Amino acid sequence: MVYVTRKTHFSASHRLYNPTFSDEKNEAIFDKCNNPNGHGHNYILEVTVRGIPDPHTGYVLDLKLLRDILENEIIEKVDHKHLNYDVDFLSGIIPTAENLAIVFWGIIERNLPAGELHSVKLFESDANFVEYFGEPVSIPRYTLKIKNKEIPV
């Protein structure tokens, strides 16, 4: 088995907030990340695919294809965006690094032409990162009801 990894980056802002919690509980749990105006990160995304190299090309996966998937399906949609408000596929999801990695996995896996997705690693800072290996995980989606209209949070 051979593992190949593509690394990319994006900048985005977000607010960690659960609408079912009180303001006090949100502040206690999410601290600075609960700033009502949001805050930003310079994320680094590493995606690893594994497989047996094709005997005709020597590739597990042409990394240009993985680059294009990441760029077109994720980076273009999240770079310099507010993750809570500007990204449809994150609508209603608390945009923690953990949840981002899980959502990104689904997007990449659906578009992957060859190889098997092994891991999605997302760095939020030099010191903090998450790594997801595709185990089934359910992510709740939250909405606020304002004037009888549901608004994703």
Asked whether the predicted pLDDT for residue 147 surpasses 70, the reply is no
pLDDT at 113: 87
The set of catalytic residues is 33, 80, 124
- pLDDT class for 2, splitting at 50, 70, 90? very high
Strands 2-14 and 39-51 turn out to be: antiparallel
88-113: per-residue pLDDT in tens?
999 999 999 999 999 999 999 999 98
Q: Where are the domains of the chain?
A: 2-152
Close Cβ partners of 134 (under 8 Å, ≥ 6 residues apart): 105, 109, 117, 119
pLDDT at 152: 61
29-82: per-residue pLDDT in tens?
999 999 999 999 999 999 999 999 999 999 999 999 999 999 999 999 999 999
> Which structure tokens are listed for 124?
């939020």
Other beta carbons within 10 Å of 87: 19
pLDDT at 142: 87
Question: CB-based burial of residue 91 (10 Å sphere; 0-12 exposed, 13-18 middle, 19+ buried)?
Answer: middle
Asked whether the predicted pLDDT for residue 146 surpasses 60, the reply is no
Which residues partner with 145 through β-bridges? 150
Other beta carbons within 10 Å of 35: 15
Greatest Cα pair distance in the chain: 61
CB-CB contact of 39 with 95 (8 Å): no
**CATH architecture entry for 2-152:** 2-Layer Sandwich (3.30)
CB-CB contact of 115 with 1 (8 Å): no
pLDDT at 115: 86
> Which structure tokens are listed for 22?
């009180």
pTM of the model: 0.92
> Which structure tokens are listed for 116?
């098997």
